[in-house]
A = this chain, B = another copy of it.
């Protein structure tokens, strides 16, 4: 099925995708990977360290599109595997109801979240992973940050495009108020 989806995706050529991006909101999933203790309490969160468009290293969420005919569940599995490798053993949520819906507009003035390429509507999830996380080449590393070390100021400085809002909100949804 993945092959089929990819072929459908490549069928949407880059120039076509550019055109579509200026006309319709694009559905995304956003994932905050976490580690927990035995009672389900979050102990660490994982942030990808990647170069942004200007070549600076920034922390980022796992993020990616939902493809045509792809279930949200399968998009979650696919993007987590893409960024954390094949043995991260994510516990995909029982419900595809996100902790929050986040709107990325082409300009920062609407919601504070923005994405210059497009209008994206992201379903955001906190996902517990229990295995070994090995980020792919594109994301240079994955930083695990202990809950004691997190602060809203840190996230705001380290993340781009207003994405710290997604992390702060996701942590609040699991009882961790920064």
Contacts and interface: CB of A to CB of B under 8 A. Distances in A.
A121 B24 contact: no
A54 interface: no
State the oligomeric state as a number of copies: 4
A39 B73 contact: yes
Interface string A19-36: 010111111000000101
B97 A101 contact: yes
A77 interface: yes
Interface residues of A, number: 62
Contact of A103 (B71, B101, B105): B71
A105 B70 CA distance: 9
Interface of A: 8, 11-12, 16, 20, 22-27, 34, 36, 38-42, 66-74, 76-77, 91-101, 103, 105-106, 110-112, 119, 121, 123, 126, 128, 152, 164-165, 168-169, 172-175, 177-178
